[in-house]
Chain A
């Protein structure tokens, strides 16, 4: 399969990339890892006039933790996060990275690109949503942060304006004791999640300071399980509060029954994953 014809540019600076994007507006697409975009081009679901390949732009391949804040550059590949040694305070990100797509796709694909692609079944959107993260957009008028909760507008639609480029995804510095992880049920490696649950937990002793819970694959878009989060904050992490959060998250899910499972089954998995995600290894064995 061949994509439609397009003009291809591989700029060597962000300024150059931005001016190309400004010039072409909606008719331009940014190519980073290409693991979602190239298949779309081949299927001709996307036929941009201009492709701006940013792989030659320096200063975008990083991921680093500064004062507790995790910054992931637009060219940081999934595999970089999978093999990272700086994510001790970001266990949700560390646990999600090996579950993205398959190992070969992870060598090319990027976290920021996945967020921009805005597939309603994307795993990283749940992770960033649970962490209360944001995307840094750079445009003609400088940089602006876009909260993850506002970044995805709809299926395959993000909040970037014409001429803007997403340069970084940012997860804020967690406080206190950090736990949580990403749990994903998939029929085989590389499939979309039947159910995905992102849990980010910050505790002070056994009292929950902050809870982030987001759901993948069980609704028309990524779902923030806010009622479940609120049931935890300010309270101790006990069997009762965990169970309440698990049930509230299952209620927040809006799964469709399909070949991957029935509505009841998927809700059951959501509750199970929330319980497992909240289990603190220092307090009790992980279920």
Chain B
């Protein structure tokens, strides 16, 4: 693998079978050369050092590795990095900054929406996408939207409260 920050936008094959891929990660244009079999999750974690994206089950069940692809939640362990060519990826690092948290992040903090934190990045990105589409979700909407993200600590109660807090915050601010 090799990684850079500038280059051309088309996918092309190199001598080693690697592909040049241009994608936008958290608003920044990135040009990377990857083996076709490299998963998006590994590109993010190992190639781009964005380790907020967690690999949980690695079998498309748990949703810990969820990132946003053009604003929609996808499981980054179930997508090839080459498929992200030309697309926008948002990871938890792109959601907010310590000084300026996304309302979803603030909600998780205020409502104690996590214990071990392993599922949290995926939960928050799925929640962000929900609120972008449905600004005034019911509790049922939240539970439905998060049903592909598994948490083994909290039993979901506080996670749901955190997302509803963020929705309320965004509507009233």
B-binding residues in A (CB < 8 A): 1-8, 10, 31, 34-35, 38-39, 41-43, 51, 53, 55, 79, 101-105, 107-108, 189-190
Contacts and interface: CB of A to CB of B under 8 A. Distances in A.
B172 interface: no
B60 interface: yes
Nearest to B126: A104
Interface of B: 11, 17, 19, 35-39, 42, 58-61, 63, 66, 69, 72-75, 77-80, 82-83, 85, 126, 144-149
Given A8-B80, A39-B59, A190-B147, 11 more contacts: A1-B58, A2-B42, A3-B37, A6-B36, A8-B36, A31-B80, A34-B83, A79-B72, A102-B147, A103-B148, A108-B74
A104 B35 contact: no
B36 A104 contact: no
B120 to A, nearest CB: 15
Most B CB within 10 A of own CB, among A43, A51, A103: A103
Contacts of A55: 83
A104 B73 contact: yes
18 contacts: A1-B58, A2-B38, A5-B35, A5-B36, A6-B36, A6-B37, A8-B80, A10-B85, A34-B83, A41-B37, A55-B83, A103-B146, A103-B148, A104-B63, A104-B148, A105-B78, A105-B148, A190-B148
A105 B58 contact: no
A10 B36 CA distance: 11
Contacts of A3: 37
**Ranked 9 nearest A-B pairs via Cβ:** A102-B148, A8-B36, A189-B147, A104-B148, A3-B37, A38-B78, A107-B72, A103-B148, A104-B73
Most B CB within 10 A of own CB, among A79, A104, A105: A104
B103 to A, nearest CB: 21
A54 to B, nearest CB: 11
Nearest to A2: B37
B73 to A, nearest CB: 5
Most B CB within 10 A of own CB, among A3, A5, A8, A42: A8
A171 B156 CA distance: 39
Contact of A105 (B17, B75, B83): B75
Contacts of A39: 59-60, 78
B75 A104 contact: yes
B142 to A, nearest CB: 11
